[in-house]
Structure 1
């Protein structure tokens, strides 16, 4: 069945590609025996199909990049290597930072920046750092009556929205190093236009970060709008950390890895400049039947800052 799906994907069958993507999300190792066939048929997209690719597959991709055989496919090949997460892929991507491969002049970012699409990066000390967690849970949006207060967005005056309130971060956020209650309150309207930062404390404190910069394209007459009267509630653990969805009902997920609608957008912490850790995503369709896009939540525990950004097609 999988080989049939691969051949259909190679023939530009979008339904087959979507089915393969679902398999790779639920159990990446199911595709591992078929990676060589995928390379033979030039199935390089979605690159997440290569999660957990073995050394022999990675070596083939690295050789293809080094040889400049298909420089027009360099973007996809780098994404494949990033999603493989293999040490050989990381080694090659580091090497290409200083010795760019053929075709790299057409890239918008350096080879190592592609790692962010797969949820990892290289820290300033040179070590590899995971931006995402290995555990994920369903995140169900349930009716909620917010406690009345005067907290409002200073830009559009909308009441602040509780995008998350976790009494205990638990194993889903173990990669962040956060301990205690995590609440993230932000503006549901303005976060659709720019990344908004929030100062957070382990007792559940969450306040607007005064360094947020209002973009000119947010009109001065915007808002106010009432935020969703829904609060994310943690549900059952997901089969794998890759099952968040920005397209299907029930896609909201705490922990694990995001499904980006556009390019990966892990915000840099305004306190120290390091990339923030990913917390979870909230799918717009889970708010109402006409909703779209997704909100992405992030955290940098050492600086006590959270962030929310948004993407849509």
Structure 2
């Protein structure tokens, strides 16, 4: 199957690329022997195909950037390196952040900022920090309790939605949140409506406390809105995913705790309002799992040192 896809693939062959993308999500290492051929054929997108790139392929991509032969493809080459997460890629991105390669003047951010696309970053101490976990679990929707005393959104007066209620005593939760350093209960409440318009932050504690952050700013384009009930569902951990890349923002059953996000738009790891560092990714709740006609996806984030959680939303 892979051989046939590789034989027919080209940068404009959507069917073959989608077939390879599915393999990269489920078993990325199966593509490793073929990535050199994809590079030869100038198939540089999506960069997720190169998640399991070996040192030789990464070296070739770095040499292509350094050679400046295709500055118009620099964005795609940097995305490939970010997704590979390889030490050679990390070294190159660090170098290019101070010594920009040809074509860098066309980018919106410096080279090292591309690391976030691959789910990692370099902290103020100069050390690499992974923003995502390496294990993932299905997030199954269950009916949540209806409470009369639930807090409401200060902007639209909608009852707040419990987007997550987790405890690291659960082995699945502990594994999925290991990269965050969190220990204890984690409750994330948000406004399911207003989160569609802006990043909403909350203060959280390991005791399960959650509070609306007073620094949240109401979007000027939100307009006049009426209160509406939040989803009557709360996600609970289910079976382990085969791969950390199997979240789906589009399909029913795609909601996932841990692992890597399936971004609908560009990668979006919000900055912690306490310290400015990018927040860790926790999981994805797909609109298709919340409502029969739901769309888009909610992305949950956490920064343990400062005690902040965040909810972002994307749709096509």
Give the structure-1-normalised TM-score.
Answer: 0.97
Paired residues for 1:195-210 under 5 Å: 195-210=199-214
Tell me what 1:152 maps to.
152
Question: What is the Cα-based RMSD across aligned positions, in Å?
Answer: 1.1
Distance 1:100 1:272 in 2: 27
How many residues are aligned here? 312
Distance 2:102 2:11 in 1: 27
Distance of aligned partners of 1:283 and 1:150 in 2 relative to their CA distance in 1, 3 Å threshold: closer
State the shift of 1:15 in Å. Answer: 2.4
Tell me what 1:276 maps to.
279
State the shift of 1:123 in Å. Answer: 0.4
Residue 166, structure 1, aligned to residue 143, structure 2 = no
Residue 184, structure 1, aligned to residue 188, structure 2 = yes
Tell me what 2:255 maps to.
252
Tell me what 2:288 maps to.
285
- The range that moved more, 253-262 or 142-151, is 142-151
The structure 1 segments of at least 4 consecutive aligned residues displaced by more than 6 Å after TM superposition are: none
Tell me what 2:102 maps to.
102
Q: What's the CA shift string for 1:65-109, capped at 9, x where partnerless?
A: 111111111110000011111111111111111111111111111
Unaligned ranges ≥5, structure 2: none
Distance 2:142 2:13 in 1: 37
Distance 1:26 1:164 in 2: 25
- The range that moved more, 165-174 or 130-139, is 165-174
SS in 1 for 2:301: strand
Distance 1:115 1:9 in 2: 27
Paired residues of 2:11 and 2:44 also in contact (CA < 8 A) = no
Tell me what 1:236 maps to.
239
1:264 to 267, 274, 283: 267
Tell me what 2:26 maps to.
26
State the shift of 1:11 in Å. Answer: 5.3
Distance 2:11 2:260 in 1: 28
Tell me what 2:126 maps to.
126
Tell me what 1:73 maps to.
73
State the shift of 1:176 in Å. Answer: 0.4
State the shift of 1:264 in Å. Answer: 0.8
SS in 1 for 2:129: strand
State the shift of 1:274 in Å. Answer: 1.0
Tell me what 1:60 maps to.
60
Unaligned ranges ≥5, structure 1: none
Tell me what 2:218 maps to.
214
Q: What's the CA shift string for 1:185-206, capped at 9, x where partnerless?
A: 0000000000000111112111
Paired residues of 2:202 and 2:211 also in contact (CA < 8 A) = yes
Paired residues of 2:135 and 2:175 also in contact (CA < 8 A) = yes
SS in 2 for 1:217: helix
Give the structure-2-normalised TM-score.
Answer: 0.96
Distance 2:102 2:53 in 1: 23
Paired residues of 2:259 and 2:283 also in contact (CA < 8 A) = yes
Tell me what 2:227 maps to.
224
State the shift of 1:10 in Å. Answer: 0.7
State the shift of 1:16 in Å. Answer: 2.0
Distance 2:15 2:183 in 1: 42
Distance 1:255 1:301 in 2: 15
Tell me what 2:141 maps to.
141
Distance 2:52 2:152 in 1: 44
